[in-house]
Amino acid sequence: MITSPYEKYRQSSVQTSTPSQLVVMLYDGAIRFVKAGLVALDSKDYQKVNLNLGKAQTIISELMSTLDHSYDISKSLFALYEYMNYLLIQANIKKSADPANEALGYLTELRETWVQASKLTAGAADTPIGSNHG
């Protein structure tokens, strides 16, 4: 049972969002966790590095699993997501900010692309929640 007002709001936001808004939310979460991992890396808190980069990887894996493979772009997105997960693993293993920053750059660019795409389709009817992206 959800008791926190914040959790109720967050659940309501997810349930009432369009698919493109949900994808942007996933990017927001991945970006937030990579940034938190980088902060933890800077302070040498390796437990938090592992936790936050792992959460970002989980979100990226979710993005991979929701791709609609009937579109050619999905193959490219899948490969990019796979590469981003690789970068986050490398950052975590090597305790290096460079791979995480590279992944963060891709996530930020893709997020902005989805924001722009959702603005272009704002007038068009969005597909139902639960549909795939890509």
Higher pLDDT, 3 or 22: 22
Distance of CA 21 to the CA centre of its chain: 12
Residue 43 three-state SS: coil
- When pLDDT is averaged across residues 48-59 and rounded to a whole number, the result is 98
Which stretches of 1-72 are DSSP H helices?
5-15, 19-42, 46-65
Compute the distance between CA of residue 10 and CA of residue 128 in angstroms, rounded to an integer.
19
What is the separation, in whole angstroms, between the first and last Cα of the chain?
33
**pLDDT for residue 12:** 55
What's the pTM value of the predicted model, to 2 decimals?
Answer: 0.81
Tell me how crowded residue 58 is: count the other CB atoms within 10 A of its CB: 13
Check whether 104 has a pLDDT greater than 80: yes
**pLDDT for residue 120:** 86
Report the mean per-residue pLDDT for the chain: 88
Check whether 131 has a pLDDT greater than 60: no
Compute the distance between CA of residue 89 and CA of residue 84 in angstroms, rounded to an integer.
9
According to DSSP, residue 95 is labeled T
**pLDDT for residue 100:** 98
**pLDDT for residue 119:** 87
